[in-house]
Amino acid sequence: MKKIILVASVLLAVYSCKKEEGAKKENATETSSEAPKSNNKIVTLSGGVTEIISALGHEKEIVGYDVTSTYPESLKATAKDLGHVRSMTIEPIMAVKPTLILASDKDVNPELLGKIKASGIKAEVFNQEFSVEGTKKLIEQVAKALGNTDYQKLNDKIDADLKQIQPIAKKPKVLFIYARGNMLMVSGTKTPMDALISLAGGQNAVTDFEDFKPLTPEAVVKANPDVLFFFSTGLQGAGGNEGALKMPGVSQTNAGKNKKIIAMDGGLVSSFGPRLGEAAVGLNKLLIENTK
Amino acid sequence: MIKAHQVSYKHKEFHILDGIDVSVEYGEFLAIVGPNGAGKSSLLSVLANEVKQGKQKIVFKDKPITDWEVRELSQHKAKFSQHNSNDITLEVKDVVMMGRYPYFDAQPRKEDLEAMNNMMYETDVYHLKDREYNTLSGGEKQRVHLSRVMAQLQNSIAHKLLFLDEPLNNLDVKHQYKALEIIKKFTQKANSAIVVLHDLNLAAQFADKILLMKSGKVAAHGTPQEVFTADTISKAYNFPCTICDHPITNNPMIIFG
Amino acid sequence: MRTQSKLYFYLTISAILLVIIAVWSLNTGVYDFGGRSAFEVLGKVIAGDTSLSLSDKYVIWDVRASRIVMAILIGSMLAVSGTSLQGLFKNPLATGEAIGLTSGATLLAAIAIVLGGYFRQYLPEMVQFSLVGISAFLGALFAMMLVYRISTSGGKTNVVMMLLSGVAITSIGFSITGFLIYISKDDQLRDLTFWNMGSLAAATWTKNIILTVVLIISYIILIPQGKALNAMMLGEKDAQHLGINVERLKKQIVIITSLMVGTCVAFSGTIGFVGLIVPYILRLLFKSNYTFILPLSTICGSILLLIADTFSRSIVAPSELPIGILTSLIGGPIFIAILLKFKKSL
């Protein structure tokens, strides 16, 4: 009896594998004849990628975006918000009938990636490096995926913006704090904020760990930043400047004593897209102001 | 029918049973009596193969009891235990039907339903059959389990064995006698019963043989006439007693005090 | 015989109910099939109709249908494992979560996720996913063996010890998993929290086949034991006197339930309370008669999880409510109800 069941299961497995293969073959032929041009319907699952697509002039082709894609704001009117990539499922993506899905590998849930691949819709997953070179490479890759060759002007703009950065004689130590509700995390090295701070002429007050870690008063005092750096929404949620000054350990730091607190738009800071230059210049200006 | 030689049972360092020999024949009603802590329930447990300790061999129908296949054995022997679980969320008839589990796989057959109904009549619980077991009184629950155990041995096998550990607890006089009569009827069909009893007079009246225990050892073994002497009993129970003849049945009658 | 036909009657009603709910679930979702009903589209897929767009086919078959089937399989196995464990422990609160199987599974899965992050570049995807799955199954197995060791001696199992060991293992699992979440990097953390909540979104037909095989093997052994579980209510000694091989039964239940629970946790993360809710509701109708509630829990478990999953993906569309939240919502009050009933009997 068990043998029959085993054989039946194996047959079922083979049959469904065959079906998948058949489907994949059909997909391959279909998409090769469908070279992506401006009739695309694009789903973008990363803020940075979204900005690049818009900057390249394809904004109107976007039909779906994720929660980190906050710029440009005009997207809200023309496309659908699909939610957080970490909890997103494939069906809402398919519901907007995309022809192209673009995502960054840093955010997306691997199960979702698997489903996207299996869906047969053309998809590109980019590896996003948080540096000037990395951004330029990403711009080039996204442009290629869109079949657009006119991307150099984006890179040029970044370079032009970056030229406006004024070096600061004594590099200020900057501590980036991610504030969300009661959760406070600080940025160590190898994060987008870390890279941006360096670009803008400052230095990360934290050098002894990577990534984000929960804030502890001892770590804050040891880092002794000259400036505290927040997302605008984060700072607001934490109670503005007053709230920031009350955070554990802050009162013992230079930043706390001198009340040097700055904030920038979250999307601008973390997207590392075409506005990278803008972001760096903006941060640079704020740093200069706050280290006089 | 069942023989055990030099049964010993230890709990930690304490000998609950110490070198006991027991043997029961076909058609015999053996009553195990004795003061509290004598080891009566433990002996019954060991004989019923509930205890895996010790090297003693118990031989049931000329085969070591451990060689018997579990399901087959359950058609030859059944046990009524003293502390039945309190919480059985089933109806009475489902509890009695459990006695027939050794006989059917998925569905009870006609003979199983018959056995179940018969035994429920005998123990006077038939009128309770659709009630929830948990709502019964202690005595009623006792009778339900009695009918379950009896139903278990309703079959055509010859020479069956019944173990009963204080089956009369919580029963009123009428039901006590009824229960003992059921057991007696059972043994009169060439089956055997080993019953732990507290009431010496009932033991004297119904049992064929008595096993008197004290402190984990056998104090006396024989017919009621042999065992129930004033000397033996008062020594075992450490309490003065008088024996006289029962005015109607002529069995020994034990009066304490 | 009377009881048999009664059982078949209820099984049939439940099966019909399951089919109705499956159809409803098939029709639920944000994707628009352009005027055709989901059912029609499914019919075309099965018939091999090539006029269907690939997206339509993909959504109805690989997304919705496979997810519905997974909900049916996992719901069923979680319910049956709960019912079996409750028969074993003679306690309505016993579930895979209670004896530490789910914690063991989650713990090893968490280790696999965090460590696997370092090797992610070197291993093919298929292996990565399987690694987590296999770890979960091994975790359930280790928890089972540990609990068995602690609470069994000389061939007899002490049920109270088993439940307490479950508590201990759950605590250990919780602390180590918490530690791992703490030291993990951001994307690994996301995987872990995603896992802890439980979800059927990652359903694939391959996983469903594995689940089906496990289900069939388990049910062949377990479902006929309804009688034996009833007998266990008399106490292990008396059950043995009734001809039930008690030690073998206990081993079977523990091994098979850890197999079922481990496989389910591997593919869907932790979905709690199913093994608590289904037997509880069935007991209201059939008392603790395992010859009824064991077979019925197979279908009723599927019904419960399918309903929960369909709600989870439609209530906050296009987003999804983690299914564990829905099952806990139903399960929490039931847990309290059981405790109150227990208190009354004290």
pLDDT along chain C (346 residues), means of 10: 78 94 87 75 76 77 89 96 88 82 87 74 64 80 82 64 85 86 66 71 84 92 92 87 89 87 86 91 89 94 94 82 88 86 71
Examine the pLDDT at B206 and tell me if it is beyond 70: yes
* CB nearest to C59's CB, from A30, A91, A111: A91
Give CA A207 to chain center in angstroms.
22
Does residue A188 fall inside a structural domain? yes
Q: Are residues A148 and A174 in the same domain?
A: no
User: What is the arithmetic mean of pLDDT over B23-46?
Assistant: 87
Widest CA span in chain A: 84
Q: Are residues A187 and A259 in the same domain?
A: yes
Query: What angle, rounded to 10 degrees, do the helices at C205-222 and C246-268 form?
Result: 170
Residue that wins the pLDDT comparison between B12 and C98: C98
Q: What length does chain A have?
A: 292
* CB nearest to A92's CB, from C206, C216, C318: C318
What's the mean pLDDT when you consider all of chain B? Answer: 86
Interface of A with C in 42-81 (CB under 8 A): 80
Structure tokens at A71: 């710029």
Q: Cite the beta strand spans of chain A per DSSP E.
A: 42-44, 62-65, 80-81, 100-104, 122-126, 173-180, 183-187, 203-204, 212-214, 227-231, 261-264
Structure tokens at A237: 């949620």
Q: What is the pLDDT of residue B236?
A: 85
The CATH number of whichever domain residue A114 belongs to comes to: 3.40.50.1980
Question: What ranges do the domains of chain C cover?
Answer: 2-345
Q: Are residues A52 and A125 in the same domain?
A: yes
> Looking at CA atoms only, how far is residue C284 from chain B in angstroms?
10
Q: Are residues A197 and A115 in the same domain?
A: no
Kindly identify which residue of chain C lies nearest to residue A83, measuring between CA atoms.
Answer: C319
Residue to test with chain B: of C8, C242, C280, C287, most B Cβ within 10 A: C242
Q: Are residues A177 and A151 in the same domain?
A: no
> Considering the domain C2-345 in this protein, what is its CATH number?
1.10.3470.10
Kindly identify which residue of chain B lies nearest to residue C4, measuring between CA atoms.
Answer: B107
Phi-psi category of residue C245: left, alpha or beta, with phi > 0 → left and psi -120 to 50 → alpha: beta
Q: Among A135, A161, A187, give the residue marking a domain's end.
A: A161
Q: Are residues A204 and A282 in the same domain?
A: yes
Q: Which chains touch B (3 or more CB pairs under 8 A)?
A: C
Tens of pLDDT, residue by residue over B117-167, are 999 998 889 999 899 898 888 889 999 999 999 999 988 888 899 999 999
Round to whole Å and give the CA distance between C61 and C245: 45
Round to whole Å and give the CA distance between C74 and A132: 48
Q: Is the distance from CB of B166 to CB of B197 less than 8 angstroms?
A: yes
Round to whole Å and give the CA distance between A265 and A257: 25
Tens of pLDDT, residue by residue over A4-63, are 445 544 554 444 333 333 334 333 333 333 334 467 889 988 888 898 888 888 888 899
C1 reaches B (C-beta below 8 A): yes
Structure tokens at C116: 């696997």
Q: What is the pLDDT of residue C126?
A: 60
Q: Among A120, A143, A161, give the residue marking a domain's end.
A: A161
Give CA B230 to chain center in angstroms.
26
Does residue A61 fall inside a structural domain? yes
Q: What is the pLDDT of residue A26?
A: 38
Q: Are residues A250 and A234 in the same domain?
A: yes
Kindly identify which residue of chain B lies nearest to residue C290, measuring between CA atoms.
Answer: B90
Task: Please judge whether B107 and C287 are an interchain contact, meaning their C-beta atoms are less than 8 angstroms apart.
Answer: no
Q: Which residues pair with B238 in a beta bridge?
A: none
Round to whole Å and give the CA distance between A166 and B33: 105
Q: What is the pLDDT of residue B152?
A: 92
Q: What is the 3-state secondary structure (H, E, C) of B170-208?
A: CCCHHHHHHHHHHHHHHHCCCCEEEEECCCHHHHHHHCC
pLDDT along chain A (292 residues), means of 10: 49 43 38 50 88 88 88 86 82 88 79 83 87 88 86 87 87 89 85 89 88 84 90 87 87 89 88 87 89 78
Q: Is the distance from CB of A192 to CB of A272 less than 8 angstroms?
A: yes
B107 to chain C: which residues are within 8 Å by CB? 1, 3-4
DSSP string, B126-154: GGGTTSBGGGS-HHHHHHHHHHHHHHHT-
**Domains within chain B, CATH numbers bracketed:** 2-256 (3.40.50.300)
Does residue A22 fall inside a structural domain? no
User: What is the arithmetic mean of pLDDT over B80-92?
Assistant: 79
- The whole domain housing A229 covers 164-290
Kindly identify which residue of chain B lies nearest to residue C342, measuring between CA atoms.
Answer: B87
C210 reaches A (C-beta below 8 A): no
Round to whole Å and give the CA distance between B232 and B227: 7
Does residue A32 fall inside a structural domain? no
User: What is the arithmetic mean of pLDDT over B75-85?
Assistant: 82
Q: Is the distance from CB of B29 to CB of B193 less than 8 angstroms?
A: yes
Q: Is the distance from CB of C301 to CB of C249 less than 8 angstroms?
A: no
Task: Please judge whether C155 and B52 are an interchain contact, meaning their C-beta atoms are less than 8 angstroms apart.
Answer: yes
Q: Are residues A285 and A223 in the same domain?
A: yes
Q: Are residues A171 and A148 in the same domain?
A: no
Does residue A171 fall inside a structural domain? yes
Q: Are residues A178 and A278 in the same domain?
A: yes
Does residue A147 fall inside a structural domain? yes
User: What is the arithmetic mean of pLDDT over B89-99?
Assistant: 90
Round to whole Å and give the CA distance between A4 and A7: 5
pTM equals 0.81
Q: What is the pLDDT of residue C308?
A: 94
The domain total for chain A is 2
Q: Are residues A222 and A183 in the same domain?
A: yes
Q: Are residues A131 and A169 in the same domain?
A: no
